[in-house]
Amino acid sequence: MAERPLSAGPFHWLGLLAVAVSGLAADQLTKQIVVTQLALGESVHVVGPLHIRHVNNPGIAFGLFSSWASIVTFLTAGAVLWMLFYFAKSGARHPILPVALGLLVGGSLGNLVDRLRIGHVTDFLDLRFWPAFNLADTFIVVGVASLLLALVDAERQPRIRRTHSNRPAPKTSA
């Protein structure tokens, strides 16, 4: 039985690139709309608990590590490079990997672009019971959840034993 290669092929890279670029574009577009339409701190009620509120976040999740902006920027860039390296080696391992890592890369780049360009991340989705976040954060969370589900699914599938088809089967005596 032949084993299939696990490294990402052109189709896998195209999928990852399409998801990452779409996520990055959607994130940057929505942030630009918020910045141009709402003053810092201004809020607009949408529906139920959802408000659009213009917030600047110099840190990462929930404003943590806001005084470590350059370290956070460096670590984010390193994480994106690691994800791309992992994908190059294992992108064909599971069909959801291009989407999951595309969301992670696109979301990470969305926030990285903000940090490099303006020194903070623009957050705007406010549920009132949770700190404000943005589309990039949403893509990262969905990407991680998808990646975890894919890993659990891969572990549940029966493992195929490696066989050597050119070796004759051992003789047994009856």
Q: Which residues are the active-site residues?
A: 123, 137
Residue 83 to residue 60: CA distance in whole angstroms = 19
State the helix-helix crossing angle for 69-90 and 97-118, rounded to 10 degrees. 160
Q: What is the dihedral of CA 79, 85, 88, 94, to 10 degrees?
A: -40
List of residues 6+ apart from 134 with CB closer than 8 A? 27, 30, 31, 110, 111, 121, 122, 123, 124, 125
> Do the beta carbons of residue 75 and residue 115 sit within 8 Å?
no
**Rounded to 5 degrees, what are φ and ψ at 51?**
-125, 150
2 Cβ contact list (under 8 Å, min separation 6): 165
- Alpha-carbon distance of 47 to 16, in angstroms, equals 33
